[in-house]
A and B are shown apart, each in its own frame.
Chain A
Amino acid sequence: MSEKSSRRQFIDLSFRIAGIAGIGGAAALLTKRASGNAVFQVDPAKCAACDLCRTSCVLSHSAVKAVNNFSECGYCQLCPAYYDVASQPDEMGLPTGKTCPQEALKRRVVGKVDKDDPNNNYYEYTIDESLCDGCGKCVKACKPPAGNGSLHLQVRYSRCLECDACSIQRVCPQNAIVRVPTPGLSPAKKHA
């Protein structure tokens, strides 16, 4: 009798362990599948461009970069994201200081060029992502009323390691790092 009891107990325990392992494995698989269908992204409506994207990413060169929404951009001659508009002007009347510490924001004249009066020209602003460290100074300078708000920070998936727990999200005071379905609708388009 005692042998039968111990055998029964062994079989019972074995099934319990197998059941728990099965449930745990299924949970892990579902979690991995769910996280694989979503990525982290910056919600521009919440982002305060506080510099934590630069300092908190696990990468030494943050995966967060500034991007310019050209449909919103004013193509201004005197872009406050490019120029430090409070700096002393040069002989042409243009500010001598730049907003970006890394000089990652590039400027070029586009369209019909008036060489006699630069006030008549339009300028395109692009970001050199190899230099941009995601500090957000340009984003902050572009926010209304100073600018149109076309510049905003975004996670670049070519660099992002897709950590299960984003270290920037953990410290973001605005809760601006959100999960979005991969790799599709970004918060920027959601708020358009």
Chain B
Amino acid sequence: MGTSVESKQEKLLRRLKELGIPSAAAIGAFSSLAKPESRKTAPPVPPLIQVDLSKPFAPSHKYALSLTLGRAGSVHLFSNSLIGVAIGAADRIYVLGDGQVFIFEPGGNLVRKWKAQEHASCLVVSPDKKVFIGASGRVEIYGDEGNRLGGFSIGDGSKPASVTSIKINRSEILVADAAARLIHRYDINGRRLGEIGTQGHSGFMLPNRTLDIAVDSRNVIWAADAGRHRVSSWNSDGQPIGRFGKFGTHNVEDFVGCCNPVNIAVAPDGKIVTGEKVAARVKVYSSEGKILAVIGSEHFDPNCLHLHLAVDSKGRVIVADPVRLQLKVFSPDINSGVRESL
């Protein structure tokens, strides 16, 4: 069906097979005589998807690399994994990697580190210095010294929750569950308050099985809806507010590939920061979706499936590269752009 007529060679080989005659010699002879081109070396592997930015882009804001932690020169901080970053009090940087929580001063000095629970996948730090760590189906709560304070289970038990992001919204804990494709709302004691992403919505589309969220100073919840190539915003009651973004490889403001953006953070002044795979880049938008800046792929490994993000009080964008096991801090150029207010 749909195949070409068998060649004489193929007929002979099939007949040999039917007769049970070892055909190694015959195959070798035919292969060498009939298909000399099969001895060619493998063609070169073409590169990953090339992002064609046909339209020129003049950023209104600029960011410069100001600090690198991790595999910089001979310093190896993270050995196996780098899977989350958050900002705490006094702009301390909390990093989840190698099964531990690392706490750095804003300048990069390591303050302390302590062991986290197994399968930890994300973290957030509350204003009172409690560290909330999400793992498979649970949230564990630790003090700043690593002392465990408590925890609670996620989901209604019908399906194991896949906790991929955790944030704090006033007194609520928001837990992104990629298995259920929604955001759970819990109080500090683990009492379920509701969910976000289901009202007027069929749930987030997550082909890459990960959902990242962020909360801004107005308590608006932002979600990286990767399968729809958009960023969506929600209020605390779960009502949808708006969205921006679309698929595209020719305009820098668009999101490339099958599913992007994969990561999201919010700056104190309301700027939205997104992380993309394939293009391996970080972009900064206004809250209305206007592209402001791009932190290009030259800084990150092209094989990254994630670029974990956080923004401190000074607008510095902290990016965790899980392939190169590096933490990079990008400071805004204060002479670029117009200071935007919400």
Query: Do B41 and A173 touch across chains, with their CB atoms under 8 A apart?
Result: yes
Q: Contacts A120-B202, A163-B27 hold; do A76 and B4 have CB atoms under 8 A apart?
A: no
Does B341 sit at the interface, judged by CB under 8 A? Answer: no
B contacts with A, residue count (CB < 8 A): 60
Does A79 sit at the interface, judged by CB under 8 A? Answer: yes
Contacts of B340 in A (CB 8 A): none
Closest residue of chain A to B247, judged by CB? A78
Contacts of B280 in A (CB 8 A): 145
Contacts of B249 in A (CB 8 A): 85-86
CA A86 – CA B257 in complex, angstroms?
Answer: 9
Of the stretches A16-24, A50-58, A180-188, the one at the interface is A50-58
Query: Do A145 and B248 touch across chains, with their CB atoms under 8 A apart?
Result: no
Contacts of B247 in A (CB 8 A): 78, 89, 93
Contacts of B50 in A (CB 8 A): 86
Closest residue of chain B to A49, judged by CB? B45
Does A8 sit at the interface, judged by CB under 8 A? Answer: no
Contacts of B77 in A (CB 8 A): none
Interface string of B37-81 (1 = CB under 8 A from A): 111111101101111100000000000000000000000000000
Query: Do B31 and A161 touch across chains, with their CB atoms under 8 A apart?
Result: no
| Cβ-neighbour of B30 out of A58, A61, A89, A131 (below 8 A) | A58
Does B295 sit at the interface, judged by CB under 8 A? Answer: no
| Cβ-neighbour of A89 out of B42, B206, B248, B258 (below 8 A) | B248
A contacts with B, residue count (CB < 8 A): 49
Query: Do B22 and A144 touch across chains, with their CB atoms under 8 A apart?
Result: no
Contacts of A86 in B (CB 8 A): 49-52, 249
Closest residue of chain B to A120, judged by CB? B202
CB within 8 Å of A: which residues of B? Answer: 1-4, 6-7, 9-10, 13-14, 17, 20, 22-24, 27-28, 30-31, 35, 37-43, 45-46, 48-52, 202, 205-209, 227-230, 246-250, 256-259, 277-278, 280, 302-305
What are 27 A-B interface contacts by the 8 Å CB criterion?
Answer: A32-B22, A50-B45, A55-B37, A55-B40, A58-B9, A58-B30, A61-B4, A74-B207, A74-B209, A74-B259, A76-B207, A76-B259, A85-B249, A93-B247, A93-B248, A114-B202, A145-B48, A145-B277, A145-B280, A146-B277, A148-B207, A161-B13, A163-B23, A163-B24, A164-B23, A170-B31, A173-B42
Other CB < 8 Å A-B pairs besides A85-B249, A86-B49, A145-B257, 11 of them?
A56-B38, A75-B207, A76-B207, A80-B258, A89-B248, A120-B202, A146-B278, A161-B17, A162-B17, A167-B31, A167-B35
